[in-house]
Amino acid sequence: MMRSPRFNGYLFFFVGTLFLMMAIQTAGQTSGWDILTIVLIAFAAFDYMLAFKFFGIAGRQANSNNKGK
């Protein structure tokens, strides 16, 4: 079963937010920015990039569906 691009966008946005919250927690528990915090921020940035990509795909699909009618 294929999921819609909008669902994938929300899923990646949620996972990116979780990585961001974990990075904030890690930075608060340690003395600052360590390698784990940077890796978590990188994963969050990648997830946000994918989320916006899927939102763009969903928007283009909606526009193409509206133009066909």
DSSP for 7-34, written as a single string? HHHHHHHHHHHHHHHHHHHHHHHSSS--
The total number of structural domains that make up the chain: 1
Residue type present at position 19 = F
pLDDT of residue 49: 98
Query: Looking at the domain assignment, is residue 50 inside a domain?
Result: yes
At 4, phi and psi to the nearest 5? -70, 155
* Model confidence band, residue 2 (pLDDT cutoffs 50, 70, 90): confident
Count Cβ atoms below 10 Å from residue 9 Cβ, excluding itself.
Answer: 20
| Single pTM value for the model | 0.86
Domain containing 49 equals: 5-62
Query: Looking at the domain assignment, is residue 68 inside a domain?
Result: no
- Rounded to the nearest integer, the mean pLDDT of the chain is 91
pLDDT of residue 68: 66
pLDDT digits (tens, 9 = 90+) for 18-56: 999 999 999 999 888 899 999 999 999 999 999 999 999
pLDDT of residue 66: 80
